[in-house]
A and B are shown apart, each in its own frame.
Chain A
Amino acid sequence: QVQLVESGGGVVQPGRSLRLSCAASGFTFSNNGMHWVRQAPGKGLEWVAVIWYDGSNKYYADSVKGRFTISRDNSKNTVYLQMNSLRVEDTALYYCAREGDADHLPNSFDIWGQGTMVTVSS
């Protein structure tokens, strides 16, 4: 079935780095843009980054620009989020989400993973 599974979360000290992965299955991964969305404990959703289906374009929220890098490997059906210079305020549950294509729920987050928790603390 169509599925996204995130991994790589954990507890890390401020200033350190972490790389999240999101493995996709059940669909043609190279057809869809992919996003990262995060949710701090007890707070709302925050969009983090997007990468186009072919990796040609990437956009970031101002809060992470210059520190986080989104990438993808279409041969491995995986999208990544490299997080550097982590801050306490980056503590959140990080979701990856599939963007629908032109024929099905365009520009929508139609499939979500269950998330991976990142805790930044000294």
Chain B
Amino acid sequence: SYELTQPPSVSVSPGQTARITCSGDALPKKYAYWYQQKSGQAPVLVIYEDSKRPSGIPERFSGSSSGTVATLTISGAQVEDEADYYCYSTDSSGKGVFGGGTKLTVL
């Protein structure tokens, strides 16, 4: 079955740039989506279609995709950005798949 691979954890100091990667064989043909989940809360969409930012999401969140790797970048990470981040995409049959998630620590 199709898999998306993320690093389990990323750690940065406040104000630094955090980059979270997501690798998958179908990403050259399929969009990546990124979700932020804070403790005890439902996920929130932060990036869609590789690089688009929904309204209300701070400009410091950006996304990109090249080949088999999609990247979520948080420029000038804030303490409030500390959360779990999940990439999501679909396989060729229309089934969805999430990456394993990345715990972002900002301290």
Contacts and interface: CB of A to CB of B under 8 A. Distances in A.
B1 interface: yes
A105 interface: yes
B105 to A, nearest CB: 17
Contacts of B43: 37, 45, 95, 109, 112
Contact of A113 (B37, B42, B101): B42
Contacts of B37: 45
Nearest to A95: B42
Given A61-B95, A106-B48, A107-B48, A44 B86 contact: yes
A105 B95 contact: no
B27 to A, nearest CB: 14
B96 A110 contact: no
B15 interface: no
Interface string A62-99: 10000000000000000000000000000000010000
A108 interface: yes
B95 A47 contact: yes
A121 interface: no
